[in-house]
Amino acid sequence: MIVTPTLHFHGQCEEALGLYQQAFDIRIDFILHYNDANQRDWNIELSEEQKGYVYHAEAYIGEQRIMLADELELHPTDSTSLFLTVTFDTASQVKKAYEVLKAGGTIIHPLRSTTYSSCMVSLIDKFGFRWGLMTEQTGI
C-alpha cells in the first residue's frame, strides 16, 4: 500500500502549485485539466471557468508524491487536525518556505527552536492547509 497526501482546492489548484513550487521546489509531473479529461468522469455541466480547473495533478516534495485537484461540487474546508510536515536539511530552507507560505496565511507556532528541532514553524497557508516546517537537528 501507498499513502499519498491529496490536496483539494476550489479553483486555485494551479495557483497553489506555483506557491508550493516557490516554497518547496516541487517537481510537477502531471497536470490534467477538466477540459482535457473524459466528461464521463463527472455528471454535472461545467462552467467555462471550471473547464480550466485542475482535474488531477501529481507533484513531488522531495521524494514524497502528492496529488492535487480542484473540487467541483464540494467546497473544501480548512483542517488543522491533519497536516503535512516537511523536514528540511537546513534552517535557511525552513525560513525560505516559511516566508513563501506565510503570506495570506495564519501562524500557529512561530518560527523557533524546540527540543526536537533547531528550526520549526507551523502555519496554515492561504488555501487553508496546515504545514509543519522543520529541521531534525536538536542543537541551535
Query: Binning pLDDT at 50, 70 and 90, where does residue 82 land?
Result: confident
- pTM (two decimals): 0.90
pLDDT tens-digit readout, 95-131: 999 999 999 999 999 999 998 999 999 999 999 999 9
Q: Would you say residue 79 has pLDDT above 70?
A: no
pLDDT tens-digit readout, 92-101: 999 999 999 9
Parallel, antiparallel, or unpaired: how do β-strands 64-70 and 6-9 relate? parallel
Q: Would you say residue 140 has pLDDT above 50?
A: no
Please give the order of strands across the beta sheet that includes 79-88. 79-88, 129-135, 120-124, 106-112
At which residue does the C-alpha cell 485537484 appear?
Answer: 69
For residue 5, give every residue at least 6 positions away whose Cβ sits within 8 Å of its Cβ, in sequence order, or none.
Answer: 64, 66, 67, 84
Domains of the chain: 6-70 (3.30.720.100), 79-135 (3.30.720.110)
Residue 78 confidence (pLDDT): 66
pLDDT tens-digit readout, 9-57: 999 999 999 999 999 999 999 999 999 999 899 888 999 999 999 999 9
> Do the beta carbons of residue 44 and residue 82 sit within 8 Å?
no
AA letter at 31: I
- How far apart CA 135 and CA 124 sit, in angstroms, is 18
